[in-house]
Each structure stands twice: as structure tokens, then as C-alpha cells.
């Protein structure tokens, strides 16, 4: 796929933000705005739940963290996110999930599969194509870290792409049972964030998934504060994990 840089601007804190498209998929790239470019910077691919525009403040904050550690960061729009074409099947599955949660029921395996598996199947090859293109840019090198977003995407990407050296996974969404087989086969260092009182998530499922990860080095960092309330200390711990493994 072909990457086209479409715009650039400087953010506070000396970070260069560049917008790009990758065969029509919008993306953002953040790099430390240093005058001298010594070594190629390791790259952190930032996961998110979709809609780059809505997520921009939080993504830019995470990118600043990366830049402070000397890392580039990038995000691409999810299938069905932002202005990308929506999938009627995914919309139906999301409505079914929300209906189950509103009724206080556990979402069925079928609903979770319909919501997550097609998204993973489409998003992971797109993420890999983005890595191909981004790693070819001057000033950006390996190793690559993955951080946050929909955990099933992170699991699949970490499993199939050997360029991913370490992953911060956000255990904040329902996980299809078939993803557990992939989780067991992971071996890379993992730092798993869990919001203990996340009302839209299944805590026991998240703990079971953490238990399933095959990685000999894995950390679970669980905090209070609801789905979007990851405390600054937890964000810093995640950044330190990436710094340990990408430098």
C-alpha cells in the first residue's frame, strides 16, 4: 500500500504531527522534533477504539509520552471508524452487545464473535501494511511496540508480526473465545492494563485472558477509575515498559 503525507504541524512539547493516508486509510504519525536525527527512532503503533478525530487529544498525549522517550508513534483509522465505510454487520453486532449490557446480561459468544472477529481480520493486515510503509520513512526504525486499543487486535498483531517486540494491551473489551488460542501462543513481553471497575467489560474474562497469555514476561496493572480513567501513574508505567523493551 502507498503512504501519502497530507499535512503536518508542530504540537506543544516539540512533537511533529503528520497526517497521512495509506491507500485511503487516514493515519497520524508523531515524531520527536529534534534538529539532529541520530538513530532511527523505534516506533509505537497506538491502538484506539476507532475515530481518530474524536480520539485525537488522547492519542496526541500518548504520542507525546512516546516522543519524550525518543520514540515515533503512529495510529491508523480502524475499519468502520471515523469517515471509513461502516459495516452493517458490525453495527448490528454492536447494537446487540449494547442491548445485552443494558439488560444486565452477559453478551453471547455469537455477538462477541460477530463484533470482534471481522474487525480483527481486517484491521491487522492494515496495521501490518502501515508498519511496512512507516518503517520505510527516514528517521523511523525498529523495534516496534504496540500499545492500547482493542485487545483482540493487539493479540493477533503481536502473534503474526515478528516486528512487534513488546505490547501494552488494554484489557477493556470483550474477547472472542477463539482469541484465547492465539493468546496462549504469544511469547513477547506484555504489559496488560485493566480498569478494575470498567462497567462495559468482563473483569473475569480479562483475568482469564491474562492467565492464558503464553509470554514468560507479563505484567497485569489494574487500577480504579472506570473504562476511560486510566490514572497517570499507570500510563507512566506502560511508557516505562515500552522504554525498557524498545531501547
Residues at the site binding its own copies, with contacts judged by CB under 8 A: 194, 196, 207, 210-211, 216-224, 231, 233-234, 236-237, 240-241, 244
Q: 51 or 208, CB closer to its own copies?
A: 208
Q: How far is the CB of 224 from its own copies (least distance, A)?
A: 6
What one-character-per-residue DSSP string does 32-74 give?
E--SS--SPEEEEEEE-SS-HHHHHHHHHHHHHHHHHTT-EEE
Q: How far is the CB of 211 from its own copies (least distance, A)?
A: 7
Do 85 and 93 form a contact (C-beta atoms < 8 A)? no
Q: How many CB atoms lie within 10 A of CB 136?
A: 9
Q: How far apart are CA 32 and CA 60, in angstroms?
A: 12
Q: How far is the CB of 36 from its own copies (least distance, A)?
A: 30
Helix or strand run (H / E) with residue 118: helix 109-135
Q: 2 or 244, CB closer to its own copies?
A: 244
Q: How far is the CB of 186 from its own copies (least distance, A)?
A: 13
What one-character-per-residue DSSP string does 178-229 give?
THHHHHHT--S-EEEEEETT-TTS-HHHHHHHHHH---SSEEEEEESS-TT-
Q: 128 or 218, CB closer to its own copies?
A: 218
Q: 21 or 219, CB closer to its own copies?
A: 219
Q: How far is the CB of 22 from its own copies (least distance, A)?
A: 34
Q: How far is the CB of 222 from its own copies (least distance, A)?
A: 4
Q: How far apart are CA 82 and CA 50, in angstroms?
A: 7
Q: 59 or 239, CB closer to its own copies?
A: 239
Dihedral sign, CA of 18, 19, 22, 26?
A: positive
Q: How far apart are CA 12 and CA 231, in angstroms?
A: 22
Amino acid at each position: 500500500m502507498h503512504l501519502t503525507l497530507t499535512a503536518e504541524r508542530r504540537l506543544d512539547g516539540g512533537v511533529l504531527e503528520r497526517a497521512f493516508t495509506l491507500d485511503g486509510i487516514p493515519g497520524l504519525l508523531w515524531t520527536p522534533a529534534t534538529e539532529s536525527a541520530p538513530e532511527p527512532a523505534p516506533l509505537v503503533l497506538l491502538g484506539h477504539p476507532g475515530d481518530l478525530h474524536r480520539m485525537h487529544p488522547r492519542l496526541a498525549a500518548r504520542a507525546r509520552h512516546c516522543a519524550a522517550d525518543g520514540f515515533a508513534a503512529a495510529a491508523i483509522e480502524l475499519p468502520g471508524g471515523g469517515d471509513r465505510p461502516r459495516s452493517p454487520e458490525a453495527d448490528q453486532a454492536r447494537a446487540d452487545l449494547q442491548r445485552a449490557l443494558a439488560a444486565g446480561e452477559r453478551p453471547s459468544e455469537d455477538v462477541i464473535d460477530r463484533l470482534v472477529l471481522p474487525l480483527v481480520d481486517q484491521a491487522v493486515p492494515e496495521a501490518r501494511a502501515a508498519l511496512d510503509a512507516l518503517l520505510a520513512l527516514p528517521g523511523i526504525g525498529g523495534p516496534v511496540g504496540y500499545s492500547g486499543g482493542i485487545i483482540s487486535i493487539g493479540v493477533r498483531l503481536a502473534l503474526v508480526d515478528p516486528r512487534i517486540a513488546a505490547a501494552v494491551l488494554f484489557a477493556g473489551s470483550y474477547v472472542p473465545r477463539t482469541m484465547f488460542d492465539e493468546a496462549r501462543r504469544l511469547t513477547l513481553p506484555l504489559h496488560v492494563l485493566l480498569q478494575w471497575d470498567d462497567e462495559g467489560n468482563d473483569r473475569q474474562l480479562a483475568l482469564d485472558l491474562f492467565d492464558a497469555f503464553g509470554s514468560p514476561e507479563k505484567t497485569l496493572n489494574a487500577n480504579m477509575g472506570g473504562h476511560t480513567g486510566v490514572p497517570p501513574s499507570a500510563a507512566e508505567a506502560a511508557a516505562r515498559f515500552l522504554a525498557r523493551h524498545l531501547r
